[in-house]
Structure 1
Amino acid sequence: MKANMLQQIQGKLVVSCQALENEPLHSPFIMSRMALAAKQGGAAGIRANSLVDVQQIMATVDLPIIAIVKRDYPGSEVYITATLQEVDELMAAHPAMIALDATQHHRPGELQLPQLVAAVRQRYPQLLLMADIATVEEAQLAAELGFDCIGTTLHGYTAETQGAYLAADNFVFLRDVLAAVKVPVIAEGNVETPEMASQCLHLGAHAVVVGGAITRPQQITQRFVKAIS
């Protein structure tokens, strides 16, 4: 099962179908239709947030899912699948893969990242784990902890990397991560065009995740409005 999902998405596109509570498309039904549209367009996998969205998507399409729960905790910057509670919630749907924030920020709850990974491995040995990182050092730590793959998801979104851009300086961050680890690297974060996605794969990314450029029409509209203003 583990190898199977990584093989399914290798060299291909994963579409992130997410809409938070303050967004106009927030709805498990709408996200399931987004996932169906992504499948019909040729996507090899889906990334989704929350148990209800994951369940609705899995009932609609047969693509492998990268599942997460986004939840804010007081006193912590970690919000993507932050504790064992979120993992347990998602495993009610038995997704093939769960992504965790793998930054070096202090986590809520009793388990910091090494202990959390160990607990998940013991409880769900067949589950694939993806590390959402923001720095090369975090990628290296994630590889040492035994994550099955590493995503550049949080580069540009943490305090240390705020405003950084995956494609800046000819994708130098992606290149650096690929050079630093031997586990599969999934390019994710501000991949805004088909050409960027293609370049990520050309550089050696195992797969590429695209979200807002496909599934968030308000962001797409903003880019058009900005360009013509």
Structure 2
Amino acid sequence: MNAIQQIEKKLIVSCQAPADSPLHDPYVISAMAKAAINQGAAGVRIDTPAHVKAVKERLGAGVPVIGLWKQLLPGYDVYITPLFQDAKAIAEAGADIIAVDATLRNRPEKLEVLIKRIHDELGLPVMADVDTIEAAMAAVDAGADLVGTTLYGYTADTKNFPPPGLDLLVQMVEKLYVPVICEGGISRPVQAKQALDLGAYAVVVGGAITGIDLLAKAYQAALVKADE
């Protein structure tokens, strides 16, 4: 059973933390990943080569890791694994699936070239993170193996539409022939179940499970406001 088959109809937990957080440590991230797998998650989504390496060493070869590397490049809007060299570093760290920003925004390398090189030179499947149905269809045409609603609500074209992108999910399930992943803004278990009911191949949950920094900040802000 390959990595894509292993995550079908299952939960994937995104284990990430802000760069300035004490949680942004390979050991801590790998502990989060292990805790998620212990409770039934089928896979994890991990940022940076160092974190992917730590997670793979802790979880072993049998647990699928969707790897990515967020890189802010001057003059470009895409930031999730924008270059082949980023994908290569993630692959060498042990990722089983490479996630890339597949929005229609300005990018340093053509998407079809990036995906083809990942397939041909790294031998790994690609998850395309998109924000619109147009981007999703273009990603499939470019060779993506899976497509996720990851960036819905986080780009200029979708900034007025709060995630989760369930409407986008429905469109993608209807129009695409590759597995569709629901990711972004899933904050309650009932929403994850709803996503599967709508046809999602798998569901990624991040901040609602592992986002300690943002959750604590939100609670504190609410208490301060209540005290005003």
TM-score computed with the length of structure 2 as normaliser: 0.92
CA distance in 1, matches of 2:160, 2:66: 25
Question: What SS is found at the alignment partner of 1:56?
Answer: helix
Q: How far off its partner does 1:165 sit?
A: 2.4
Q: How far off its partner does 1:85 sit?
A: 1.0
Residue in structure 2 matched with residue 178 of structure 1 by the alignment: 173
CA distance in 2, matches of 1:166, 1:174: 11
Task: From 8, 12, 15, give the equivalent of 2:13.
Answer: 15
Q: How far off its partner does 1:223 sit?
A: 4.5
Task: From 205, 209, 216, give the equivalent of 1:214.
Answer: 209
Task: From 59, 67, 82, give the equivalent of 2:57.
Answer: 59
CA distance in 2, matches of 1:133, 1:67: 16
Q: Where does the alignment leave 5 or more consecutive residues of structure 2 unmatched?
A: none
- State the superposition RMSD in angstroms: 1.6
Are 2:67 and 2:97, in contact at CA under 8 Å, matched by a contact in 1?
Answer: yes
Q: How many correspondences in the alignment?
A: 222
What does residue range 150-229 of structure 1 map to in structure 2 within 5 Å?
150-167=147-164, 171-225=166-220, 229=226
Identity level (%):
40
CA distance in 2, matches of 1:204, 1:102: 21
Are 1:166 and 1:173, in contact at CA under 8 Å, matched by a contact in 2?
Answer: no
CA distance in 1, matches of 2:54, 2:94: 13
Letter in 1 for 2:162: Y
Residue in structure 1 matched with residue 128 of structure 2 by the alignment: 131
TM-score computed with the length of structure 1 as normaliser: 0.91
Letter in 2 for 1:19: A
Is residue 2:142 matched to residue 1:145? yes
Are 1:187 and 1:209, in contact at CA under 8 Å, matched by a contact in 2?
Answer: yes
Letter in 2 for 1:53: H
Residue in structure 2 matched with residue 106 of structure 1 by the alignment: 106
CA distance in 1, matches of 2:219, 2:177: 39
Question: What SS is found at the alignment partner of 1:92?
Answer: helix
Pair 219,20 (structure 1): closer, same or farther in 2 beyond 3 Å: closer
Deviations 1:178-221 (A, max 9, x none): 11211100000011111111100111100000000000112223
Residue in structure 1 matched with residue 89 of structure 2 by the alignment: 89
CA distance in 2, matches of 1:227, 1:19: 21
CA distance in 2, matches of 1:152, 1:84: 22
CA distance in 2, matches of 1:119, 1:28: 28
Pair 25,79 (structure 1): closer, same or farther in 2 beyond 3 Å: same
Q: How far off its partner does 1:166 sit?
A: 3.3
Q: Where does the alignment leave 5 or more consecutive residues of structure 1 unmatched?
A: none
Letter in 2 for 1:172: D
Q: How far off its partner does 1:174 sit?
A: 1.4
Pair 225,202 (structure 1): closer, same or farther in 2 beyond 3 Å: farther
Residue in structure 2 matched with residue 33 of structure 1 by the alignment: 31
